[in-house]
Amino acid sequence: MSRKSKSVPTSDPSSEEALRLNRLMEKFARVLVLNGYSPKYLAREFSAICARLSEPRHPREPHRPAFTAELGHVLSHWYTDPLCVDAAGRPRPLPANGRGLSVADLVRRANPRLDSEVAIATLLQHKALKRQGRLYVPTNRRVVFDPRDAAAPARGFLPLEGLLDTLHRNWASGRRAAETLEATAINPAYPTRQLRALKKHLKDRGLTFLTEVDSMMRRGEARATDSEPRSRIGVSLFVFEEGPEQPKRRPLRRRARRP
C-alpha cells in the first residue's frame, strides 16, 4: 500500500471494488429481508438516508481495511517470534531497516506486498511504535487508531463483512447448530449502574482471550508450509448497548376529599 494510491471508482459496475460493495450491500439487505422488512421499503429508506449524508472526508481506499488488519499482524509477529522477544517475553527493540531482523522485515513477513516505510510511519503516527534511540519498540499489541483518521472506521470494515458472511453461512447451511461460531449473550434488563464494572471485566477478559487466540493463529501460521492454501480468519468481540429504559412511574393516588 502506498500513500499515493488512489480510490477505485465504484461507478464502474464491473470493477472489483464495485462488485465487493454490491455483495456487501446484498448481504445486509438479505439480513433485513429475512427479518421481515420489505425490499421496496428498504430501497426507499436507504435512498432517503443516503440523500441526507455528506460526502466522506477521506477518499475511498479499497485496501485500507486490509491494511489496518495487516498492521496488527506486524505487531503479532513482534510479540510471538522467539527471535523478537527477550527472556521475559517482551518485544526487543529493532532497527527500522538493515540486514537481519528489523521492523521492515516483520512488515514483509506480515505481507510481502506491504510498503514497509508506509507501515512504519502509520504505526508511529498512531503511537503503536516508539523510538528508543535509533531503534523502535511496540507500545501495545494492538493498534489504537486516531478516531479522526480514515483508518479508524476502516478497522471495523472487515469484522462487519465477516459477521454478515458468518450469518449467511449459518443460515444457508440449514443446520440447527452454527457451521461457523456465532454466539451472543443478551440480558434485556441489566442494571445501568453496574455497566461500568461489567464493561471493564469484559474488556480485560476479552483482550486476554484475543491475545491467546492471536498467538495460537501465529503458531499455526509459522508451522504452515509455503505451498499450502491460506485463508484470512478473524475473531471479533464487541458489546452492544441499547439506551436505558426509563423507570415506570407509579400513578399518583388521589386523596379523597373530606366532606
| Position 208, amino acid | T
Contact predicate 235/215, CB 8 Å = no
Residues 114 and 117: their CA atoms lie apart, in Å, by 9
Cα separation values, 9 from 15, 18, 27, 61, 62, Å: 8, 8, 21, 10, 10
Tell me: pLDDT of 132 over 80: yes
Tell me the mean pLDDT in the region 3-13.
48
Task: Give the model confidence (pLDDT) of 62-107 as tens digits.
Answer: 888 999 999 999 999 999 999 999 999 999 999 999 888 999 999 9
Q: Which residues of 86-109 are buried (b: 16+ CB within 10 A; e: fewer)?
A: eeeeebebbebeeeeebbbbbbbb
Burial classification of residue 75, based on how many CB atoms lie within 10 Å of its CB (0-12 exposed, 13-18 middle, 19 or more buried)? buried
Confidence category of residue 152, pLDDT binned at 50, 70, 90: confident
DSSP state, residue 138? E
> Which three three-digit cell numbers place residue 143?
493498534
Q: Which of 65-69, 136-140, 177-181, 186-190 has the lowest mean pLDDT?
A: 177-181
Contact predicate 103/61, CB 8 Å = no
How much is the pTM? 0.78
Cα separation values, 196 from 56, 199, 200, 241, Å: 33, 5, 6, 12
Contact predicate 192/122, CB 8 Å = no
DSSP state, residue 249? P
Note the helical H segments in the chain.
Answer: 16-34, 39-52, 64-80, 103-110, 116-125, 151-155, 157-173, 195-223
